Amino acid sequence: MAPRFLSVGWTLAAVLAASLASAEPRMTVAPASAPPNVDARARVALHHAVENDLANDESVSALSGYTLFPKLVELRRYVEGNQKTPTSVCVVELTVVDGAGKVVAKTRAAANSQSADQRETLDAAAQAATARLSVSLAALSRAERDRIARR
């Protein structure tokens, strides 16, 4: 009898794990755009950073038909004045568009560091932008649920 309960438990655990793994946000994240001097790896890194940050945002799951456009506005290193270590600067902009192409939310965030590399600075800017955007996404999600409930 015990092996039977174990197999049922393992089956249930496998089904739940598979359903959680496939529960990705319904909002589409478009490929990141960037100035011509930014390499493709940075654009891909921004795309993945935004997707990962949004995967933990519960309000995103209700936003079917919306698209988020991440944009790397600036990513550069510079040395200022007498300093010997360069400063990495990253500016990220996130724009959410509905199915009709209307902009419904937009945010911009920046990060800079003398000790972190450009990838870490990019991740920090992306995280700041998605954190700011989460307030708008939560409001948009509530409005979407209300719209569906009125039908």
Cβ contacts of residue 94 below 8 Å, gap of 6+?
Answer: 50, 68, 69, 70, 71, 105, 106, 107, 108, 129, 130, 133
Integer Cα distance of 93 and 95 in angstroms: 7
Higher per-residue confidence, 144 vs 29? 29
How large is the average pLDDT for residues 55-66?
79
Q: Note the pTM of the prediction, 2 decimals.
A: 0.75
CB 126 within 8 A of CB 46: yes
CA proximity to 105, closest of 73, 49, 144: 144
pLDDT over 90 at 51, yes or no: yes
Integer Cα distance of 25 and 107 in angstroms: 19
- Complete domains list, the chain, with CATH: 25-150 (3.30.160)
120-147 per-position pLDDT tens digit: 999 999 999 999 888 888 887 787 777 7
What is the per-residue pLDDT for 80? 80
Integer Cα distance of 24 and 60 in angstroms: 9
What is the per-residue pLDDT for 125? 95
Distances (CA, A) of 120 to 52, 54, 114: 14, 18, 11
Residue 68 burial (10 A CB sphere; 0-12, 13-18, 19+): buried
80-118 per-position pLDDT tens digit: 878 788 899 999 999 999 889 999 999 999 999 988 888
Integer Cα distance of 150 and 125 in angstroms: 38
Q: What tokens does 106 get?
A: 């937009």
What is the per-residue pLDDT for 68? 94
How large is the average pLDDT for residues 63-71?
90
